[in-house]
Amino acid sequence: MPLDPDDILEPASPRAGHIAEQALLGALFLQPALIAEVDLEALHFDNRTHAVLFAAMRAVPLPDPEHHRENVDWVAAVYAEARPQAPGLPHTYPHTLVQACQHPEHAATYAWMIRAGHARRTLRVHAGRLAQTAADTTLPNQVDATVTQANQLGNLLDQLSGRFAPHPGSLPRTPLPPESAPEASEEAVDDERLLLATATGSPQTVQTMRWLAPADFTSALHGSLWRCITGLVHRGAPVDPVTVLWEAEQSGLLTSTATARSLLELLSDTHGEPDHWGEKIVRRALLHRARTVAGRIVAIADDPATTPHQMITGSRRALADLTPLRTRWQSSTAPTPPTTPRAPRSPAVTRAGPPPRATAARALR
């Protein structure tokens, strides 16, 4: 694909990564033998023209060092190799790159800087895919696709951690965006109301729904009512609309809008099974958390003040916030194991021989 000639123009405010790319290419023009010592690929460059030039350097045979000191034949060959992929590349640009490098012996450090920039961009792309997948309601298996993207993001962080050594102060100082309130859509509210009603009508099912947490609800009131129901169930207390209402009143949930009458009506409107509605609530909470996690990782990757290791550590901590919901989602969708009837206990068999010591002692008294 032909490159835009503006792609190689010096930015008005070049960042350190752009200058490092120029310095590295300048070092390689000065000392082509360094190419064998640089652990880089063309895809690691942010500037497309720089990537084309680096690929051309790899493609053109290395010159004799003595011959290279006396003429620019190899530079011209590299330019000719790159020109078809960069038609707007000025013939003076190699000279500009040479001027950008004052210390060719620092080529390995420049290469490390380029790899760090590539890691930052790659992490941002993966986080963006996670956010996009978690928001794409047209996907047939949206949760599975979201979990797959999260796994790929975790694998990327594992790979990057092996390339960038840890150091003291590895936690990033990037201000992270707070978790936004989940969208309380009409469908979400209806699902939560139906869960509360069916759970009140079938409290025995609540005992198997430990995978659902109050924080999963889009409505704080609904989450608090779920806590009231589970509290009654775990204490072994009777559960019906009246007892749940009493528990809600004791928890300070009754207000001018959440009246006793409205809560009784909510808890009495049962349709379906609790685990069905609970699964939908957890699903919605997982997708919302995935979007939040992705946004935090993007914020970390976009912060140039973070070192690569800080970026990796902070991203791992952000991604770990998704793990509890993933675990609970798996529990909510796992098939319920069949209950095996307990075998009746066999009657005690009289033991032959002398009685135990305690029994014999009592008989002698």
- Return the pLDDT at 339: 47
In this prediction, residues 322-341 reach a mean pLDDT of: 80
Q: Dihedral through CA 222, CA 223, CA 229, CA 235, nearest 10?
A: -160
**pLDDT tier at 165, thresholds 50, 70, 90:** confident
Q: How many residues does the chain have?
A: 365
- Return the pLDDT at 170: 74
Considering the entire predicted model, what is its pTM?
Answer: 0.84
Measured distance CA(163)–CA(154) in Å, rounded: 15
**pLDDT tier at 324, thresholds 50, 70, 90:** very high
- Return the pLDDT at 336: 59
Per-domain residue ranges for the chain?
5-102, 186-283
Instruction: Output the six-digit token pair for 276.
Output: 């069905």
| AA letter at 237 | A
The structure tokens 């190799």 sit at 81
Helices (H), 136-206: 142-161, 186-201, 203-206
Instruction: Output the six-digit token pair for 303.
Output: 């912060």
Among 176, 186, 359, 361, which residue's Cα sits nearest to residue 284? 186
- Return the pLDDT at 12: 60
Assigned CATH for 186-283: 1.10.860.10
Query: What percentage of the chain has pLDDT greater than the value 90?
Result: 78
| Across 119-123, 129-133, 175-179, least confident range | 175-179
The per-residue pLDDT for range 263-294, each reduced to its tens digit, is: 999 999 889 999 999 999 999 999 999 999 99
Residues in contact with 308: Cβ distance below 8 Å, sequence separation at least 6, in sequence order: 116, 119, 120, 160, 163, 164
Measured distance CA(16)–CA(13) in Å, rounded: 10
Cα 325 off chain centre by: 12
**pLDDT tier at 169, thresholds 50, 70, 90:** confident
The per-residue pLDDT for range 114-128, each reduced to its tens digit, is: 999 999 999 999 999
C-alpha distance from residue 73 to each of 53, 65, 69, 110, 175 (Å): 15, 12, 10, 25, 51
Decide whether 5-102 matches 186-283 in CATH topology: yes
Measured distance CA(118)–CA(272) in Å, rounded: 51
Measured distance CA(188)–CA(130) in Å, rounded: 22
Measured distance CA(133)–CA(127) in Å, rounded: 10
Measured distance CA(141)–CA(149) in Å, rounded: 12
C-alpha distance from residue 274 to each of 65, 193, 232, 282, 298 (Å): 77, 10, 16, 12, 36
**pLDDT tier at 365, thresholds 50, 70, 90:** very low
Mean pLDDT of the residues in the chain = 89
Residues in contact with 198: Cβ distance below 8 Å, sequence separation at least 6, in sequence order: 205, 270, 271, 272, 273, 274, 277
The per-residue pLDDT for range 180-215, each reduced to its tens digit, is: 888 889 999 999 999 999 999 999 999 999 999 999
The per-residue pLDDT for range 227-258, each reduced to its tens digit, is: 999 999 999 999 999 999 999 999 999 999 99
The structure tokens 């752009």 sit at 18
Assigned CATH for 5-102: 1.10.860
Evaluate if residue 349 carries a pLDDT over 60: no
